[in-house]
Amino acid sequence: MPTEETRIGVFVCKCGTNIAKVVDVPAVADYAKNLPNVVYSGWQLFTCSEEGQTIIKEHIKKHKLNRVIVASCSPKLHEPTFRRTVMEAGINPFYFEMANIREQVSWAHMKQKDEYAEATQKAKDLVRAAVFRASQLESIGSTTQTVPPVCMIIGAGIAGITASTLLADNGYEVHLVERSPALGGKAAQLGFVFMTDTCGVCVPPKHGEMARKCLSKRVLLNDPKIHVYTQTEVKQFSGYIGNFQAKLQTQPRGVNINTCTLCGKCIESCPVEVPHELDLGLGTRKAIYLPFPQAVPRAPVIDFESCTKCGKCAEVCPVNAIELNEPPKNTDITVGTVIVASGFDVFKPDGLYLYGEAPNVLLQLALARMMDPLGPTNGKLQRVSDKQIPKHVGMIQCVGSRDPNYYSHCSRVCCQVAMKHAVYIKEHWPETEVTIFYKDIRLQGKEYERYYLNAKKLGVNFHRADITNVEETTNNGLKLAVAHHNGSKEIVDVDMLVLSAAMIPAEGAKELAHTLNMEVDLQGFFREYHLKLAPVDTATNGIYLAGACSSPRDIAEASFMAAAAASHAAIPMSKGEVEVDLAKSVVDETLCIGCANCYGVCPYSAIQMEGGVAKVIEVACKGCGICVVECPAEAIQLRHYRDKQIYSQIEGLLANVGVAKK
Amino acid sequence: MTVRIATMGMAGCSGCHIALLDIGVKLLDILKDVELVYSYPLVDTKNPIPPNIDVALIEGSIRTEHDKEMAEAMRKQAKFVIAFGACSAHGGVNGLANVFGGIEGVEYVYTKTILMAQKLVPSEHVPQILQNDLRLSDVVKVDFIIPGCPPNPDEIASVLTALLSGETPVLSSKSICDECPLERLTEAPTKLRRTHEVPEPDKCLLSQGFLCMGPATRAGCNAECPRRGMPCTGCRGPSETVWDQGVAMLDALAAMEEDEISGFKLPRLAGTFARYTYASSKLDNLRKGVKKE
């Protein structure tokens, strides 16, 4: 390829007065005329305007420019604009270079009038650096990656189910992967949920239908577009958008869900009885059990950890659905996109407020189980110790939340939950007193305030206070030492104490983040790509977040987010491909020594080791450059930020002070 | 036509000269066409440097005013100057003195260590010591380097043979790993191990956690150390593309757990990652930072 002569055009922008007020823009443009390879230099009032861009195109034609530099604002703002401009004039977009003389010069110095002359000099220095760099730039193309219309959704809680139904209704194939034996997630545990006071296993109506779908109607299992995997975890995960490979491992259920008629004989016959984890110790279950009465899939499951394999269930089963020696099953799937909706867990406040020591201290989630008409007490409020209706229920808010010793975040739902339960208690057992001890009441959602007003009207006591000590009394009651925020102190006796414990990252979230190579935030929740601008995207292209796995959310928010994630995931799947520019890492295979450092540090799984050398998957690479730094043999370079490009930029920057050598 | 060769030793151990002799029988072939006009270890001479030297091999780093003068004098007479060995090419082990602040380290050695009876920095009848240890290219233009501590005799022979036949010698642009027979593991180290621990045979030392400098070090020695289970110490200096040998290896370990590498204070950092290149390493900037405290 013959080396063409470098012909640089420099366009300095006044940005109205934004730059011109501080920097002598015409002087900068004049200065640039004498820099190496510059064949045109001029200034405009607004370079980003339609006229400004037309002028750039005219000069490209007139002076046969092959490199374009605009000295204006931050590349974050207008680099895409000008890249398009030069592309329209027939120049490769990566032959465009920007000098930031607004954020880095005029705005930085606008308050000091005596710095204006130096600011102009600084603008000249930055333009010079850009000119030096421009001559080292290379033309970079793009490639496309096909994206099959298949999405894997991890977690079948309210968010995962919502996203699944939305995507399936839009015609996409969904693999819905759930760790537990039944669908529904935490919502299925709740009995009834706030705002609507409806059953927790409801899912939103399908598009065009107003009828509410209930999980017990097998809506998901019967949908031909949705493949449901229960008791399944993602064991291995690799690939990139359009080509994610997942290895799913399904634990044996022990019961064939296709032949089981749910007669219940196996459950009756089972001799093993253990505490039911769903009921948080309030009730028991057999080793073969239905997770909860409305559970989907509609078949019992065997807990092989407590099962003795006595075989009684197999004897009584009329349809021979019991399979005691089924091995775990592995399934490999290839998907185009992934939605992570793995949800949350509730903080276990062991050692706080006598939780785990006194029988009548329990979590809001356990109280929710009690309120469930199909729960362990059939909807009856009772003390764990003596099954009596408590006369006074105390609730402590922010247990583990907003607490520097545990989790600093607000769990967002506990105020509503406490309010919901307090109202429910007052409506059904009006003589029971309810007292809520809170730090702040935070009810910001639609219709939430109604609960608060209702709770107050029904006589729920609200005390803004800290509980400094809890003691158990002789009849398993609890004596609370209350320090009111107004300074007064008192002792309050309650029969039952309910703790509003924090929503925390789900058990195994860290491992899942590791498997999927996702970032987590300080609390351990999955990190979104941008809190405001890309809240459902992750750093990895093609992986999206929904629900409480990225932050505490209530059901309504989880549903919004699931819809957003479904719509984001649908974009590449409906286009069928993604276009990716190749301003990415590139490996010099003759220098690569195969140490796999880059493979280890790549946050986007964009590097594979093949035949002893690293290979960059350009579609997955985001061009962050970590691998470039990490490579001990310096065999990896970034196409748009090669060493020579950066060195020449530095050389240009320092050319005036005479210290640049390289 | 005979080629006039000179050799010279600065701050070094003469090991490079020994390596030159270690070429063995092949040296006889080379010497057929060579006139050795100046060589202090081989020819006992105090004579001034003769003119019209074709190739000069200069061993050792530049540590004193005398070294500097001699190097400059040799440069004037020689058409082709080779920095011979690690000290001359990159500053060598001597360069680690710079960690302790050049001249301050010298004062410490002469006045604080027990072997020095007089507790006095010598100043008479000895050349003035320089502030810092320098590599040859810091004082004169260098045409070629033969790296290594000591250089590989085969490589010396091939460079000389190339020069004698009028060709331009070339060094490998790759890294030690390219010559290393150990099996590459596609996983980066997660834990550092000390040299006295026994590595699994036939497996890459670095991925086993041994600090092998191979990846950032220039090939050409046939990976003699790692193939015998000794991690490379980096005596051949940075490979062609590597900007700074020590920095490159440090970068490579940056993804490890903090506790694994936080124990590396400056002297250990320099001695481990820039054992032969500290005098020419960017790590030297760290010293300036450290001194501020």
ipTM of the complex: 0.71
Report whether pLDDT(A347) > 80: yes
Find the CB nearest B243 among A599, A609, A634.
A634
Of A650, A627, A630, nearest to A639 (Cα)?
A627
CB proximity under 8 Å: B 148-177 to A: 173-175, 177
Do residues A346 and A363 touch, judged by C-beta distance below 8 A? yes
CA dihedral (A566, A571, A577, A578) in degrees, to 10, reads -110
B184 contacts A594? CB cut-off 8 A: yes
Distant-in-sequence contacts of B37-41, Cβ < 8 A, 24+ apart: B37/B4, B37/B5, B37/B6, B38/B6, B38/B7, B38/B8, B39/B6, B39/B7, B39/B8, B40/B7, B40/B8, B40/B9, B41/B7, B41/B9, B41/B14, B41/B17
Give the pLDDT confidence score for residue A170 in this predicted structure.
92
Determine the distance in angstroms separating the CA of B73 from the nearest CA of chain A, rounded to an integer. 26
| Contact A595/B at CB under 8 A | yes
Percent of chain B with pLDDT over 90: 40
Residue A300 has pLDDT above 60, yes or no: yes
pLDDT digits (tens, 9 = 90+) for B213-226: 998 999 999 999 99
Domains observed in chain A: 8-140 (3.40.50), 150-251+329-343+506-575 (3.50.50.60), 252-327 (3.30.70.20), 345-504 (3.50.50.60), 582-639 (3.30.70.20)
Residues in chain B with CB shorter than 8 Å from the CB of A647 are: none
Residue type for A232, please? T
In 3D, which of A636, A618, A640 has the Cα closest to residue A626?
Answer: A636
CB spacing of A593 vs B177 below 8 angstroms: yes
Residues A379-397 have a mean pLDDT of 94
Inter-CA distances, B126 with B65, B109, B130, B135, Å:
10, 16, 12, 21
* Residue B120, pLDDT above cutoff 90: no
- CA angle, B116 as apex, B112 and B119 as ends, to 5°? 60
The answer, for B255 touching chain A at a CB cutoff of 8 Å, is yes
Averaged pLDDT for residues A395-400? 96
What whole-number distance in Å separates Cα of residue A164 and Cα of residue A229? 13
In terms of Cα–Cα distance, which of A200, A153, A151, A149 is closest to A179? A153
pLDDT at residue B293 is higher than 50: no
pLDDT tens digit sequence for A88-117: 999 999 999 999 999 999 999 999 999 999
* Confidence bin at A660 (pLDDT 50/70/90): very low
Residue A297: asked if its preceding bond is cis (omega within 30°), the reply is yes
pLDDT of A524 reads 93
Instruction: Find the length of chain A.
Output: 662
Residue A243 has pLDDT above 50, yes or no: yes
**Backbone φ, ψ for residue A193 (5° rounding):** -115, 155
Structure tokens that stand for A227 in this block: 């493949």
Over residues A220-241, mean pLDDT: 89
DSSP secondary structure letter of residue B11:
B
d(CA B99, CA A391): 76
Under CATH, which architecture does the B3-101+132-164 domain have? 3-Layer(aba) Sandwich (3.40)
% of chain A surpassing 90 pLDDT: 70
Q: Which two tokens stand for residue A513?
A: 């983040």
- Residues A612, B184: C-beta atoms closer than 8 Å: yes
pLDDT confidence bin for A517, thresholds 50/70/90: confident
Least confident of A45-59, A197-211, A640-654, B277-291: A197-211
Beta-carbon separation of A632 and B255 below 8 A: no
CA-based radius of gyration for chain B: 20
Q: Which residue has the tokens 């107004």?
A: A486
Please tell me the distance in Å from B42's CA to the nearest CA on chain A. Answer: 38
Asked if B242 reaches chain A (Cβ–Cβ under 8 Å), the answer is yes
Confidence (pLDDT) at B132 = 85
Instruction: Name chain B contacts of A594, Cβ cutoff 8 Å.
Output: 177, 184, 186
Q: Report chain B's mean pLDDT, rounded to a whole number.
A: 86
Residue B292 has pLDDT above 80, yes or no: no
Cα–Cα distance for residue pair B34/B38, rounded to 1 Å: 12
Q: Please check whether residue A634 touches B, CB under 8 A.
A: yes
Q: Choose the weakest-confidence range: A546-560, A629-643, B239-253.
A: B239-253
Q: Output the pTM of the full model.
A: 0.68
Average pLDDT (B189-210) is 84
User: Does residue A121 register a pLDDT over 90?
Assistant: yes
pLDDT of B286 reads 57
Peptide bond into A293 cis (omega under 30): no
Q: What is the mean pLDDT of chain A?
A: 90
User: In this predicted structure, what is the pLDDT of residue B5?
Assistant: 93
Give the model's pLDDT for residue A487.
93
From chain A, the residues in CB contact with B188 under 8 A are 595-597, 599-601
Q: Is A646 an interface residue toward B (CB < 8 Å)?
A: no
How do residues A319-331 score in pLDDT, each as one tens digit?
999 999 889 999 9
Q: How confident is the model at residue A599 (pLDDT cuts 50, 70, 90)?
A: confident
Which uninterrupted H or E stretch holds A615?
strand A613-616
pLDDT in tens, B127-158: 988 888 899 999 999 999 999 999 999 999 99
Q: From CA A630, how far away is CA A614, in angstroms rounded?
A: 13
Of the listed ranges A101-105, B115-119, B285-289, the least confidently predicted one is B285-289
Taking an 8 Å cut-off on Cβ atoms, the answer to whether A595 and B215 are in contact is: yes
Determine the residue among A514, A591, A610, A627 to mutate to test chain B binding: the one whose Cβ has the most chain B Cβ atoms within 10 Å.
Answer: A591
Dump strand ranges (E) for A141-277: 142-146, 150-154, 173-177, 192-193, 198-199, 202-203, 213-214, 226-229, 232-240, 243-250, 273-275
* E strand or H helix at A312: helix A312-316
pLDDT tens digits along A194-230: 777 777 666 554 444 444 455 545 567 778 899 999 9
Paired strand residues for A463? A437
B255/A597 CB distance under 8 A = yes
**C-alpha dihedral (A117, A122, A128, A129), degrees to nearest 10:** 180
Contacts of B141 (CB under 8 A, 6+ apart): B75, B81
CA distance A414 to A426: 18
pLDDT at A662: 35
Residue A572 CB neighbours (<10 A)? 22
Q: Which residue in chain A has the smallest CA separation from B188? A: A597
Please tell me the predicted confidence (pLDDT) of residue B71: 94
Greater model confidence, A548 or B293: A548
Give the mean pLDDT of A239-249: 92
Residue contacts between A and B (CB atoms, under 8 Å): 76
Among candidate residues A10, A364, A338, A409, the one with its CA nearest the CA of residue A174: A338
pLDDT of residue A1: 43
**Cβ-based neighbours of B218, under 8 Å, separated by 6 or more:** B147, B171, B172, B173, B174, B175, B176, B236, B237, B238, B239, B240
Candidates A634, A647, A650, A662, partner chain B, best to mutate (most B CBs within 10 A): A634
* Contact assignment for B216 to A599 by CB distance below 8 Å: no
Best CA proximity match to B149, nearest among B40, B258, B233, B64: B233
* B187 shares contact with chain A (CB less than 8 Å): yes
For chain B, the structural domain boundaries read 3-101+132-164, 176-292
Candidate from A55-64, A147-156, A160-169 with smallest mean pLDDT? A160-169
Cα distance between residue A265 and residue A262, in whole Å: 8
Residues A606 and A617: beta-carbon distance below 8 Å: yes
Q: What's the pLDDT score for residue A88? A: 94
pLDDT per position as a tens digit, B253-264: 877 766 666 666
Q: Is 80 exceeded by the pLDDT of residue A246? A: yes
Structural contact between residues A501 and A347, judged by C-beta atoms closer than 8 angstroms:
yes
CA distance A512 to chain B (A): 20
Tokens of A297: 């899939």
